Amino acid sequence: MLPADRFRALHPDTPADQPLAFIEKQRGAMRIVAVDARALRLGIAPGLTLADARARVPELAAIDHDPHADALWLERIADGCDRYTPMVALDPPDGITLDISGTEHLFGGEGALAADAERRIAALGLHLRHAVAATPEAAQALARYQTMPAPDEAAAVRRLPVAALRLEEEIEVALGRAGLKTIGDLAQRPSAPIAARFGSETVATLDRLIGHADSRIVPRRPLPALLFERRFAEPILRTEQALLTISELAGEAAGALEERRSGGRRFAVRLYRSDGLTRDLAIETSLPTRDPALVVRLMRERIDALADPIDPGFGFDMIRLAVPMAEPLGASQFQLEGGSVSADALAALVDRLGTRLGRGRVRRFAPRDTHIPEQRALPLPAMDSPAPAPWGSPVPGEPPLRPLHLFDPPQPIEVLAEVPDGPPRRFRWRRTHHDVTRFEGPERIASEWWRVKVERLPDPEPSVVHPDPGRDDLEAAEEMPPARHPRPLLTRDYFRVEDARGRRFWLFRHGLYGSETDRPCWYVHGLFA
């Protein structure tokens, strides 16, 4: 029913009495994989070919089946079910299982909780069948297969058909042939012969279903250590009010975090709309914090930076704040005149910019152990506060040997230079000619062949891996015939040059003339101060 309900929710102008069928190409024929209630009443069942179905019900509407969209829709509904318990698991293709142990009294008992869920989900235009049972398997089976009411849960489970075990089709058929039609038939027999005949999986599933074996659901997301929520009798409509609530919740979180002597690195807010949809907002901080004002300020930044603004719909009726990530943080000192001592202002600035612009836009750099210039510096988000790493100090007395600006990718230029390995005399870059008056070079930087994963043929010459780093690249390049070794990376000869007007450039020749390439290209890779 889920595909049909989703289709009707997206296309509200579909007539209510129009039978719908969802089709997919299977084994060369268009077959029906899902139908709506009306088509089912007309005798159209999944598995039928579209041609057969059309012959029986000419007015049938055939729609392409989209299991991915259905799964996303189910995920959104599961998000909304988070309001009842944090332990929510998906039961594909169309089920959601909630672990409500210990939370049902907050809603006035199992019945009231189920009625609330039914009301909300019906508001989305979905058909719902629900069941409450002692084990997740029993609840799933009862919701799917129960046809008539039973005096108690055990009796209801015993009346279910063996299909409720959701075993493989062959085993199901074999059980039917053996005359075992219901769970009760199966459960009253000794388990050893059943295991021998139908596989041990059958017995294990049966034990879980009737509650002989312990079984738990695996929640969709790990439970955060701290959760704070606020429910509203009347849904709130304005973002400002929501922020006010978030600030109250952050205050509660601050108290709890202080007791644990820790501070949050990540705060996640979930806004529950009264129609069952949810909206998530999350912020991160570079230092552990429990300052409610900071949390609210970052939330405000996050909301301002949203591409599509928050749509409250008919209002939010619940707001939850979770602290999924916390780190140790000592007790804070309060100022004599009130208010705490101002925290690290720089960290707060980095958090604010990172929250508004995105983590990757506020960077610090760490050195990498490589000779390739463009890979030398690794940008890291400043919010992760990477530890400062030592950069090598420049050689005293030398002018700068690395440029201040680096082009990535390098920009191709036309160069007048001596063949095979002379320095550049004149070059043309960005439609301007530059006459080289001074140069230094070449500084040869070979490709890092030991990092490149090319298929290496067994090589008889051991001199390919030459111990002398000064000669290694040249000889290796010369001794390796290009036909045998795919060499996508060429050696670069770098020149530091100065033109007649005093501008300093970093140029390189890509490839060794003759051995690596016949026409080496030239590039400008950087600008010096």
Is there a contact between 108 and 116 (Cβ–Cβ < 8 Å)? no
* Residue in this structure with the two tokens 């043929």, named with its chain if needed: 457
406 is a site residue for other proteins (CB under 8 A): yes
Q: How far is the CB of 436 from other proteins (least distance, A)?
A: 9
Read off the tokens for 359: 């983590």
**Nearest in space to 281 (alpha carbons), one of 258, 309, 257:** 309
Q: From residue 227, give the alpha-carbon distance in Å to each of 77, 165, 250, 515.
A: 20, 36, 10, 66
Read off the tokens for 464: 């390919």
User: Exactly one of 47, 379, 422, 514 binds other proteins (CB under 8 A); which one?
Assistant: 379
Distance CA 144, CA 154 (A): 16
**One character per residue 348-367, x = contact with other proteins (rule: CB under 8 A):** xxx-xx---x---xxxxx-x
Residue 168 or 408: which CB sits closer to other proteins?
408
376 is a site residue for other proteins (CB under 8 A): yes
Distance CA 14, CA 211 (A): 44
User: Exactly one of 408, 414, 461, 478 binds other proteins (CB under 8 A); which one?
Assistant: 408
Residue 47 or 367: which CB sits closer to other proteins?
367
User: Exactly one of 391, 422, 463, 471 binds other proteins (CB under 8 A); which one?
Assistant: 391
User: Exactly one of 392, 462, 469, 481 binds other proteins (CB under 8 A); which one?
Assistant: 392
Candidate segments 105-113, 252-260, 402-410, 469-477, binder of other proteins by CB under 8 A:
402-410
Handedness of CA 198, 200, 201, 204 (dihedral sign): positive
**Residue 322 DSSP SS3:** strand
Residue 10 or 357: which CB sits closer to other proteins?
357
Residue 166 or 363: which CB sits closer to other proteins?
363
**One character per residue 507-526, x = contact with other proteins (rule: CB under 8 A):** -------------------x
> To 5 degrees, how large is the angle CA 447–CA 449–CA 455?
140
Q: How far apart are the first and last CA of the chain?
A: 68
Residue 381 has, within 13 A of its CA and on its CB side, a CA count of 15
Candidate segments 4-12, 154-162, 243-251, 385-393, binder of other proteins by CB under 8 A:
385-393
222 is a site residue for other proteins (CB under 8 A): no
* Residue type, position 247, single letter: S
388 is a site residue for other proteins (CB under 8 A): yes
418 is a site residue for other proteins (CB under 8 A): no
Is there a contact between 416 and 425 (Cβ–Cβ < 8 Å)? yes
381 is a site residue for other proteins (CB under 8 A): no
Distance CA 43, CA 29 (A): 20
* 283: region left, alpha or beta (phi > 0 left; psi from -120 to 50 alpha): beta
Residue 358 or 514: which CB sits closer to other proteins?
358
Class of residue 164 by CB neighbours under 10 A (exposed 0-12, middle 13-18, buried 19+): buried
**One character per residue 470-509, x = contact with other proteins (rule: CB under 8 A):** --------------------------xxx-xxxxx-----
371 is a site residue for other proteins (CB under 8 A): no
Helices (H), 262-310: 292-304
User: Exactly one of 12, 58, 328, 396 binds other proteins (CB under 8 A); which one?
Assistant: 396
Q: How far is the CB of 334 from other proteins (least distance, A)?
A: 21
User: Exactly one of 345, 419, 457, 483 binds other proteins (CB under 8 A); which one?
Assistant: 345
- The 8-class DSSP code of residue 212 comes to S
Handedness of CA 337, 339, 343, 347 (dihedral sign): negative
Q: How far is the CB of 280 from other proteins (least distance, A)?
A: 23
Report the interface residues with other proteins, using CB under 8 A.
Answer: 344-346, 348-350, 352-353, 357, 361-365, 367, 373, 376-377, 379, 382, 388-394, 396-397, 399-408, 432, 437-440, 496-498, 500-504, 526-529
